[in-house]
Amino acid sequence: MAGEVLTAISPSTGQPIITRNEVTEAELKQLPDTAIKAFDSFRKTSLAERQAIVKKALLLITEKQDDLALELTAQMGRPIAFTGKEVSTAVLRAEYLLKVSTDVLKDTEGEPQKGFKRFIRKVPIGPVLIIFAWNYPYLILVNSLIPSILAGNSVILKPSPQTPTVVEQVASIFEKAGLPKGVLQYFHCGSTSKMATLVNDPRIAHICFTGSVASGLAVQQAAAGRVVGVGLELGGNDPAYVRKDVDIDWAADEIVDGSIFNSGQSCCALERVYVDAAIYDDFLAAVQKVLAGYVLGSPFEKGTHVGPVVSRRSAEAITGHIRDAVSKGARDLTPANSTFDVLPTVGNFVKPTLLADANHDMAVMREETFGPVIPVMKVASDEEAIKLMNDSEFGLTASIWTKDIAKGFELADYVEAGTVFVNRADYPAPDLAWTGWKNSGRGATLSRFGFEQFVKLKSYHIKDYPK
């Protein structure tokens, strides 16, 4: 039975731009069969062979950077000035994983014992299903794809229907790089029941999901009847605390960027800003000054800073959070700006919005807004700031902004988040574990620890034969 036609709608124009046929039931059933057969062969390749394939693929991705960037701008709306940076950053991230793979995947020797050879080997787990989101598709994908292939697994990719060409480009590139047929497959799907069928298939050895909390919980529930690993990278409502000793203009510039880059459509965007009362008014004025210099408009114009959000539904959710905040006492202090004041008549454009006097009664401070909104709340002390930062169901990242690095480091110990920045935000470093606390996720990608979900441990205990 044929699947439905999936249509990607342009965030910029609201018009259909790409259609793909959803995977059929027969095709869905074949994916694990092919993955198992490919895995049985690919697992026997050497790490050096797999590293050579990945290295060549990264070179090919770099050669196609401009084309890939243009596709991203068309499909998810990020300004063309920035989409190429995602592709190049994805390559740099993958190069780090490639660099450490020899050491990470080597055997771990047991304690020396005469007459015995004892060690632990990291062996591939089998077919890996990777379900990934549209907002940073190349960055999200390399987190799981690269260590999975380096470990010797086969992979099945499921992209967002909003950015369907990403998997097609990646699969083509890896094929040209020499990856054996069947090791990397993909399918297009918008059906929850079909996804559950694949998640439940006993031939799938591990599932990686990146997306919303609700969708992640659905994947976890679908896998609940199996003993299978499920890695979840979910949402965030990430806080920033601005102490009174900062350079206010510098902090404002950094925080605006961390809040509204990619139209705020990042799981680790700054979504709550707590500011010391002593500098509160000055900070708000500095943010207004920064925002006044931003340009909202067509993502295909190189001078555009802020493009559309991904969908009309998303735009309505974001503006709903803004209305809720204002109705509960927040002040909209967004500066006058010709590109904000008259929004394009087509597309899903939401102006970057500065909300003063926010509080935790407002949805914008409790839920993931996923849009270009900067809610700011006044605090009286470090203690109050930390308490409010931790008052959340989420725990992906958090940031502290201060000239007193020692104090920032001290406060970081009390923040409940997988990554705590001091004087930085919205930057998953490839050598540090990317992991969510609370409802922000489970498991880890990136760093040396990012390989762990793609291997299983096998202990070898060999005794010399008696003479």
Per-residue pLDDT of 70-127, as tens digits, reads 999 999 999 999 999 999 999 999 999 999 999 999 999 999 999 999 999 999 999 9
- Cα separation values, 228 from 23, 30, 45, 67, 76, Å: 24, 20, 25, 37, 32
Which pTM was predicted? 0.97
Q: What angle do CA 381, 384, 386 make, to 5 degrees?
A: 110
Cα–Cα dist 7/228, whole Å: 32
Q: Where are the domains of the chain?
A: 5-234+440-462, 238-429
What pLDDT digit, counting tens, does each position of 266-297 carry? Answer: 999 999 999 999 999 999 999 999 999 999 99
How confident is residue 192, by pLDDT bands cut at 50, 70 and 90?
confident
Catalytic residue of the set 22, 71, 233, 254: 233
What contacts 343, CB < 8 A, 6 or more positions away? Answer: 296, 349, 350, 351
21-51 as b/e: b if 16+ CB within 10 A = ebbeeebbeebbebbbebbeebbeeeeeebb
- Cα separation values, 389 from 256, 314, 322, 420, 427, Å: 18, 25, 20, 11, 19
Dmax (CA) for the chain in angstroms is: 89
Nearest Cα residue to 41 out of 207, 153, 194, 172: 153
What pLDDT digit, counting tens, does each position of 336-349 carry? Answer: 999 999 999 999 99
How many residues are present in the chain? 467
How confident is residue 2, by pLDDT bands cut at 50, 70 and 90?
low
The position carrying tokens 């005469």 is: 114
| Catalytic residue check, 233 | yes
What pLDDT digit, counting tens, does each position of 374-406 carry? Answer: 999 999 999 999 999 999 999 999 999 999 999
What pLDDT digit, counting tens, does each position of 246-268 carry? Answer: 999 999 999 999 999 999 999 99
How many CB atoms are located within 10 Å of the residue 205 CB?
A: 21
What are the backbone angles phi and psi of residue 160, rounded to the nearest 5°?
Answer: -70, 140
pLDDT for 217 equals: 95
**Per CATH, is 5-234+440-462 categorized as 3.40.50.300?**
no
Amino acid at 56: K
pLDDT for 467 equals: 83
Q: What is 238-429's CATH number, 3.40.50.150, 3.60.15.10, 3.40.309.10, 3.40.50.300?
A: 3.40.309.10
Mean pLDDT of 344-370: 98
How confident is residue 3, by pLDDT bands cut at 50, 70 and 90?
low
